[in-house]
A and B are shown apart, each in its own frame.
Chain A
Amino acid sequence: MGAVTNVVYLIASVLFILGLKKLGSPKTARQGNVYSMLGMLLAIVITLLDREIIDFTYIIAGLLVGSVIGAIAAKKVEMTQMPQMVALFNGFGGIASTFVAYAEFVNTKHLVGGTDVVVSLVLSLLIGTVTFTGSMIAFLKLQGWMPGRPIVFKGQVAFNGLLLAATFVLGWMFGMDTLNGQTFLLVIIAIAAVLGVTSVIPIGGADMPVVISLLNSYSGLAAAATGFVLSNNVLIISGALVGASGIILTQIMCVAMNRSLANVLFAAVGTDSGSGASSGGEQRNVTRYTADDAAMIFENSESVIIVPGYGLAVAQAQHVMNELMQLLEKRGINVRFAIHPVAGRMPGHMNVLLAEANVSYDKLVEMDAINDDFQSTDVALVVGANDVINPAARYKKDSPLYGMPILNVDQAQRVMIIKRSLATGFAGEDNELFYDDNTMMLFGDAKKMLTDIVKILKDE
């Protein structure tokens, strides 16, 4: 690798770091993405100029096919489908690492010798392949092509541990005789493929945000491992950046659910589908309110906080929600959105869904910044969210929700909840807020209910 190439790789690395830094504010974020793109373009161009390249057929074919597929996917994807899209892209990143590492082995078999190369080669194949098959399972689950509930079998954790140990043993055996070691490497790839599947299938639908974040981190680590194989610093730096990013997001998601990473990965939460059976035979009364009642309350309020959940997006109600906000603001009412960290199907998903519906981003407030404001708010409007507002999380020690940070909607003067039924959320925990005197339950489809309220407010 020439000095010029290395300098350009350094510039690319700096551009990636600056690009990520600019994601620190929505004002500069788009520019930041351009920085990263530029970094990538520079790295690709300088690599193409490498004098050792003798045949461009395969490269150009690959670049063309990949660009077309990537561009079509990026154009077509709906914002609600973002999580599975990211999972899919993650998977491709992972498998690319596997291919590169194996190709490097094929190309330079006679050079593979040192422990360092053997270790990075094995890790690169292992992480890359686990990322690939794991991401594919996550994709299938999120897309609904595979049941979202955890799939478990006896001794799953031990089985996965055994698989992992096997790859290390095989890696060691490969190291003994690298020249004839390709069978070992192929078996490692096969085992890693199984491991990716068996470690993601026991994770339930509600925990998917954690898994995608973790796989995001893996795809970075796979790139870094490949960087070690190739002694290529731009791969190592970029991979480390992405690895760190994924780990931080994983951590944030775990804290937001008050679960440890180990609990998410191994506990298979949601196995017994708790369909509201927790309340037993006890029948509690709920008063049903109508769109007219809701409109009247809004008329007489000064401040409203909206709590959106994934149900809002499922009902395709984001746009009418924005319309309602505009109407309320026209009447001088202060309207904001309170965004729980796990609202949506991946970190920050709800913000994207609302931004798509033209909600101004300064209206989207994160949980810690808005939680103290509920007590001075007239109406908290909850649409399609349940577990993240359940007060049981504060005190009910035997609840699966216990300890999870929640939005303090119960402190608002009035709580309006738009919901199809009294069914429980993912956690299967009954929500006492539904039966509170301050709560108005508006039963029905979120989109229809909001449209009705908007109609009434417009007519007046």
Chain B
Amino acid sequence: MNEQILFSIYIFVLAIFVGFEVITKVPPLLHTPLMSGSNAISGITIVGAILSAGLGHSTLGQVLGMLAVISATINVVGGFMVTDRMLEMFKKDKKKEAK
């Protein structure tokens, strides 16, 4: 096992712990937006997709890259937009706030 992969595993494991800590604090009230929002974050593959589509090693690689860009962009754009749409609806009674 080389250094790089070991380093990557370190990061992966620590990030999982951070994820557990942060996400257990999200109230059930917001679990649906949490899902769609985290879903959008998993669209980060778009970064890899852009590189595959643009590096131009081979046409096949570029076409696959483009398909990846399309799928990941749907995930990212759709996920963030729908999450925003949902979160906008969560409002507290105005009368109460005035008190």
Contacts and interface: CB of A to CB of B under 8 A. Distances in A.
Given A23-B30, A93-B45, A362-B93, A40 B64 contact: no
A70 B36 contact: no
Interface stretch (A156-164, A238-246, A276-284, A452-460): A238-246
A70 B81 contact: yes
A398 to B, nearest CB: 30
Given A23-B37, A70-B78, A244 B20 contact: yes
A351 B78 contact: no
Q: Which of B39, B54, B61 has the most CB of A within 10 A?
A: B39
A364 interface: yes
B66 A89 contact: no
B34 A245 contact: yes
Interface stretch (A139-147, A194-202, A289-297, A340-348): A340-348
Given A33-B83, A69-B78, A99-B64, A62 B28 contact: no
Contact of B39 (A216, A236, A252, A349): A216
Interface residues of A, number: 117
A220 B13 CA distance: 13
Interface of A: 9, 12-13, 16-17, 19-21, 23-26, 29-30, 32-34, 36-37, 39-40, 43-44, 47-48, 50, 52-56, 58-59, 61-63, 65-67, 69-71, 73-75, 77, 79, 82, 85-86, 89-90, 92-93, 95-97, 99-100, 102-104, 106-108, 114-116, 212-213, 216, 219-220, 222-224, 226-246, 248-249, 252, 339, 341, 346-349, 351-352, 355-356, 358, 360-364, 366
Interface string B4-27: 110010011101111110111111
The B contact surface, by secondary structure, is helix
A44 B73 CA distance: 10
A223 B70 contact: no
A242 B39 contact: yes
Contact of A248 (B20, B76, B92): B20
B25 A40 contact: no
Contacts of B56: 54-55
Contact of A355 (B28, B42, B89): B89
B2 to A, nearest CB: 7
Contacts of A223: 42-45
Contacts, number: 395
Contact of A239 (B1, B25, B42, B67): B42
A90 B39 contact: yes
Contacts of A21: 22, 25
Nearest to B93: A360
5 contacts: A95-B71, A232-B48, A244-B18, A351-B28, A360-B92
A26 B29 contact: yes
Given A36-B37, A100-B45, A237-B11, A351 B76 contact: no
Contact of A47 (B26, B34, B41, B50): B50
Nearest to A73: B78
A99 B72 CA distance: 10
Interface of B: 1-2, 4-5, 8, 11-13, 15-20, 22-58, 60-93, 96
Contact of B52 (A30, A100, A220, A240): A100
B71 A361 contact: no
Contacts of B26: 20, 23-24
Contacts of A62: 49, 53, 65-70, 73
Contacts of A85: 36, 78, 82
A350 to B, nearest CB: 9
A59 B83 contact: no
B37 A19 contact: yes
Contacts of B80: 33, 36-37, 40
Contacts of A347: 28, 31-32, 34-35
A21 to B, nearest CB: 5
Contacts of B51: 47, 50, 52-53, 230
Nearest to A56: B54
A355 B45 contact: no
B52 A352 contact: no
A311 B35 CA distance: 22
A74 B66 contact: no
Contacts of B41: 16, 19-20, 36, 39-40, 238, 241-242
B75 A89 contact: yes
Given A40-B41, A228-B8, 9 more contacts: A20-B23, A30-B90, A48-B50, A79-B86, A95-B71, A96-B75, A219-B39, A362-B93, A366-B27
A103 B36 CA distance: 27
Contact of A40 (B5, B76, B87): B76
Nearest to B79: A89
Contact of B32 (A17, A50, A71, A351): A351
A341 to B, nearest CB: 6
A352 B32 contact: yes
Contact of A235 (B16, B30, B47, B93): B47
A186 B1 CA distance: 26
B54 to A, nearest CB: 4
A90 B84 CA distance: 17
